[in-house]
Amino acid sequence: MGVILTEGLTKYYGRIKGVEDLNLEVEKGEIFGYLGPNGAGKTTTIRLLIGNLNPTKGKAFVLGHRVSPHSFAWKREIGYIPGELSLYGDLKGEELLRYFASLRGGVDWGYVRILAQRLDLDLSKTIRTYSHGNRQKLGIIQALMHKPALLILDEPTLGLDPLIQQEFYQIVREIKEEGRTIFISSHILPEVEKICDRVGIIKEGHLVAVESIQALKAKAMRRAEVVFADEVSLEEFSGLPNISDLRFDGKTLTCLLKGEPNAFVRVLARHNIVSLRIQDPSLEEIFLAFYS
C-alpha cells in the first residue's frame, strides 16, 4: 500500500461535486504534484486526506491508516501547510513554533533554527508584523520541524521571493533523499515540473491523468521546425502519422508531432537540412491541453 491511497473517494457539498471516484496512490519517497485550477477539487482532496472532511463515499488511507474523524495517531507523522494560512498574530514566531512543538511532544530545536536561517526568517518578531511571505515561511517551518514521514503542502511557495523558493526546493529534495514523501498542490507549473517525480491532473473533480512528467511530455505534442537547403514538396509529409498543423514558409517547415517521430525523421533523411529543432512541451502546455 502506498503512503497515500484512495479508493472511489467522493465528496459532494449538497448537489455540488467536490471530487468524485478518486483513485490515487502516492508511493513512499516520491514528490507528487497535484494540479488543477481553482474549484477543480485539489483542496477538497487534501481536506479529505487529513480527515478535516468526511467523504460522501469511498475510502482514504494515509501511512497505512484508514482516514476517519475518530483516528488521530497517524497525524503525528504528517506535516501540513493549508492553502489559507491562519496564525496567532499576537505571538512571536518562536513562541508559536514552541507552542506547536509542545503539542507534538517536542522537536529538535536546533533543526528549527537551521530552517529559520535557511528561509531567512527572524523568529523574534511578532507575527502580526510579518509580511505575507514571512508568514508563509513560518507555516513551512511548522510543517517541517518534526521531520514527518509525509508532507501535504497546499500552495507552499505562495508569497515567497524567488531566492527563498529555490531554497525551499532544495529542502524538499533533501527530504526526498531521506526517503520521506511529499504531496504538493500547486498552481506554479514550473515549480512542479522542476521538483516532482509524478503529477496528477484533476479536472472538475475527476482525476484525468497520473503520470511521470517525462511520460506526460512523451504523450504530448512537440513543435518541430525544419529549414531545408532546397525546395521540398509538402505532399511528402502530409500523409505521415502523428503529424498535425503542417505548414511551409519558403524552405521552412513547421508542424506538431505526437508520439514517436520515426516516420517524420525517415522523410527528413532524404533531404539536405540546414537546421532542425524539436521543442519539448512544458508542463504548462500539457496542463492547458487537458483543460482546453
| Segment 126-140, tens digit of pLDDT | 999 999 999 999 999
The answer on pLDDT for 79 being more than 90 is yes
Q: Which amino acid is at 287?
A: F
The answer on pLDDT for 73 being more than 80 is no
In the predicted model, what is the mean pLDDT of residues 186-215? 87
Superfamily of domain 4-216: P-loop containing nucleotide triphosphate hydrolases (3.40.50.300)
The overall pTM is greater than 0.85: no
Q: Which amino acid is at 2?
A: G
Q: Which residue has the cell 505532399?
A: 235
pLDDT confidence band for 10 (50 / 70 / 90) = very high
HSE-up of 52 (CA within 13 Å, CB side)? 8
For 143-199, write each residue's pLDDT tens digit.
Answer: 999 999 999 999 899 889 999 999 999 999 999 999 999 999 987 777 888 899 999
Domain boundaries, the chain: 4-216, 220-291
> Where in the chain does DSSP place strands (E)?
4-13, 16-26, 31-35, 57-62, 65-66, 78-81, 150-154, 181-185, 198-203, 206-212, 221-228, 243-249, 252-258, 273-279
pLDDT-wise least confident of 63-72, 148-157, 279-288: 279-288
- Complete DSSP assignment for 177-214: HTT-EEEEE-S-HHHHHHH-SEEEEEETTEEEEEEEHH
The answer on pLDDT for 252 being more than 80 is yes
**What is the pLDDT at residue 292?**
64
How is domain 220-291 classified at the architecture level of CATH? 2-Layer Sandwich (3.30)
The answer on pLDDT for 281 being more than 80 is no
Chain centroid, CA 222 distance in Å? 22
- Highest mean pLDDT (candidates 70-79, 147-156, 222-231, 283-292): 147-156
> Where in 67-163 does DSSP place strands (E)?
78-81, 150-154
**What is the pLDDT at residue 1?**
72
The answer on pLDDT for 80 being more than 90 is yes
